[in-house]
Structure 1
Amino acid sequence: VRDDWPREKALIDALATRYEWPVTEETPRLETRYAEKMSAVASTFADDADVQALYAEALMCLSPWDLYDKQDGAATPVWFSADKVLKPIGERIKAALDRGLALAPSHGWLCHLKIHLCEMGRAGDFDWHAAEALRCTDATA
């Protein structure tokens, strides 16, 4: 990678920590290392919506479908949404998504990930702008 492409170099360096072959029982640790690397990349390139999407996705993979708790701290089934609060990892995901969406409000991947985050939460917290942005996306473009 060319030295004058620092973003691409940082992304490749982070991505190189994510995968191994063959897959072993240690492979899940790689997801954690990748998310840690992407945290640094997201801080360095805080004004890049694509990088924020990659960081949010890396975090989501660490805790799939387990981003909320009930306000009393009890485990919450995915379908129960009346009194959910984001877990700390969910807060980090939301922050990355909100940073990216502030830069590019109709970014397809950020909107997609934001909907996934919101669909597990309280109905009143759903991000309708993200849903509308995806609905209005021209898939042929």
Structure 2
Amino acid sequence: MDMGTVRIGVAVSDPLGSFAQGVGVWDAQGDWLSQLGELLTTTKASKAVIGLPMRENGTKGPSAERVELEVERIKEAFPDLDIVMWDERYTSTIANRILIEGDVSRKKRKGQVDKVAATVILQGYLDSLRR
């Protein structure tokens, strides 16, 4: 998950844990916890990888602290869910480049960048498991 203040990008992996695929964008001010519950039920997922927005120097700032508070809400709602925090530095930049290279218009990119960023976060985590 790429947890922004406006939108939350969501990606899932294939059953073998090889490839990440973006599946949606949720309203960060809406009932995204219910949406997460539905996704966990349909995918039978036992683990969530959540992007942690670290500063360039590797320290946590206000954005990381906000995400950590949201993670506490997730833990309360889904106590059996294994949560992995993953450094998400540069994922939005990478996502924008991917969309630009894919010739996605500026207007459409705004709504897709969070989903692509979530995919980049999850794929980075999956790749790290194979190293």
TM-score by length of structure 2 reads 0.26
Of Structure 1 and Structure 2, the greater helix share is in: 1
State the structure with bigger RCO (CA 8 A, min sep 6), 1 or 2.
2
Structure with greater strand percent: 2
| Structure-1-length-normalised TM-score | 0.25
Q: Looking at CA atoms only, which structure, 1 or 2, has the larger radius of gyration?
A: 1
